Chain A
Amino acid sequence: MDTLVTQILNSLFYASILFLIASGLSLVYGVMRIVNMAHGNLYAIGAYVAAWAIGLAGAELHVSLLFVLLITGALAAALAGAIIEPMFLRPLYRRAEEYQLLMTFGLLLVLEDVMRLLWGPHPLTASALSEALGSISVLGATYPTYNIFVIVVGALAAVGLGAFVYRTRFGVMLRATSQDMRMASALGINVKRVYVQAFTLGCLMAGLGGAVVMPISGAVLGMGVDALILAFVVVVIGGLGSLEGALVGALIVGFVRTIGITYFAEVELAVLYLIAAVVLFVRPAGLFGRA
């Protein structure tokens, strides 16, 4: 029984991280029709900056304050996004699609090496945080409290993002622009501003994901590309451009991975790809995607 509880919690934990990364990717695609190859590296930046900030603050601050510093990761990623979109993506909107992919790939290379330049080839971590919370007893199973914290963050993010997109005025503009950019522009919506804001929001989510997972798995070079591929699988299953899809996809991938790791550790990735391939075959737009 307690292993079942642990499995479920692990799945939710994993799904939370995946949701944070994939929702950003999906949001950006939904609004701007761009797939940002560097998205995974913004997740990595979130991890690195948060680790660095916490490392700087060191042992002087109380652990609870260190938690607040996790936000620096999200903010750093958001700032990067706010610079990237107007400077590097905006000039390419009228050009052939290949150029957007090439550009974001170039940014991926740059970001990867910038992280190596700033923080070196060895992983950074802040395990003090994950240890500080200790463990908690859930339905008979002992489970790290930090992971519960991550699940809560993920859930709050899902609710928050949903509320933001569906309940606020900005969300209305976002959805209008994503459905018909020209019409939105004709109605007076400042599309340029919506784009940069949407992109920044997407990066913020990714950075938050990286910051939050860092105390457990550290900030490592290469984590960006791994995250990109996983986010892609989530988004294929859920449908590119859909937030519900990102949520459902994240949950599915989270559960499959947890089960996969327990029974087929070696081929876990293959099982995920298999599911993605099956979904692509049966419903190319994904479960919730637009055609």
Chain B
Amino acid sequence: MTELALASPRVWSGRRVVIGALAVGALAAIPAVASPFQTITICYGLVFAIAALGFNLLLGYTGLLSFGHSAYFGTGAYVVALLVKYLGVASMELFVVAGILGSVVVAGLFGVVCVRYTRIFFGILTLALSQVLWSLALKLFWVTGGSDGLRVPTPTLLGGLGGPGADKVEFIAHRYYYYVLILFLVATAAMWVIVSSPFGKALQAIRDNETRAEFVGVQVWKYRWIAFVISGAFTGLAGALWVPLNGLTTPDILYWPFSGRIVFFTVLGGFRTFVGPIVGAIAYNYLETYAVGFTVYWQLVLGIVLVLLVLTMPTGLVGTAIQIFERVRRARRP
């Protein structure tokens, strides 16, 4: 399998640090050099990247393919909207904490049901449970606003910046962008520590060989559940960060095609690498924003690209890039 040929991480450290620093620098410079529209687009991309990181903890590192991650994204978003509706909260910090807590609870419950079962059942169970949430969001319209959804005004950052009165575009393209960027960097660092920890290694062992993992003393179900909850937390954080950007939350983000998007951009970037999902999310969001003007059959395009990816480029953009790089490096050696 070509995936096995991927280089061992140690070889890359120096180069990786430089690339990473450049990327962070580039992201930080965006509001200064790009138009507000482009900045906002990248902001959405960063939010989806956080969701992708969470999702890939399950897929790439634990071997569990979830088709229901919209449930946690949507929980994060709706918790924020409900805080606004019922408690008049405007603090972004509270939104973030509440969004994460809400999705942890939902992921904890759903996880208990889902992680007991094999990959196929797992996938469809996650899908089914997210559909239950979606239908609740639609039916309980007196709480959730039904298909109209709930509005969320501009939040207050750090107690003072922004707030419902501020100029929205200016706020999002600058202050909120940096807020999201910082949380994105924190989330990325946290996820990197998690996957590099002994726990992370145990997850990968479970992914590779469930029986053997059991036979070296790793409690498979328990660890899968913990990974499920962490995954839900990250995706819920993304949902909470997304709502102020969008200004509105509707049941659409709980509906299964949204889970499909998360699957898609993670696979697009490459689910067997750490940064693949990040790249995939940002690239995807960029494409979607510009291409949505061309066709209403965006789902068809996604489906076709996914089929082609699986057939011809299973390691995704980043994975394939690494393979090409490796091949060039090997060819250069005398």
Residues of A participating in the B interface, judged by any CB pair closer than 8 Å: 35, 37, 88, 91-92, 95, 97-99, 101-103, 105-114, 116-117, 225, 228-229, 232-233, 236, 240, 266, 269-270, 273, 277, 280, 284
Contacts and interface: CB of A to CB of B under 8 A. Distances in A.
B120 interface: yes
Nearest to A102: B310
Contacts of A92: 310-311
Contact of A98 (B63, B260, B311): B63
Interface string B111-128: 001001101110110011
Interface in B282-318: 297, 299-300, 302-307, 309-311, 314
Given A97-B119, A269-B132, A117 B297 contact: yes
Interface of B: 1, 59, 63, 65, 67, 113, 116-117, 119-121, 123-124, 127-128, 131-132, 135, 139, 256-257, 260, 263, 267, 297, 299-300, 302-307, 309-311, 314
Nearest to B298: A113
B307 A88 contact: yes
Contacts, number: 97
- Interface hub of B1, B120, B139 (most chain A Cβ within 10 A): B120
Given A35-B120, A108-B303, A117-B300, A91 B263 contact: no
Given A98-B65, A103-B310, A225-B256, A109 B135 contact: no
A241 to B, nearest CB: 11
Given A97-B119, A110-B300, A116-B297, A105 B260 contact: yes
**B interface majority secondary structure:** helix
Contact of B297 (A88, A91, A113): A113
Nearest to B127: A229
A28 to B, nearest CB: 12
A240 B116 CA distance: 16
Nearest to A109: B303
Contact of B132 (A112, A236, A240, A273): A273
B263 A277 contact: no
Contact of B124 (A111, A229, A266): A229
Contacts of B309: 106
Contact of B303 (A98, A106, A240, A269): A106
A33 to B, nearest CB: 9
A98 B119 contact: yes
A50 B59 CA distance: 38
B299 A109 contact: yes
A245 B271 CA distance: 36
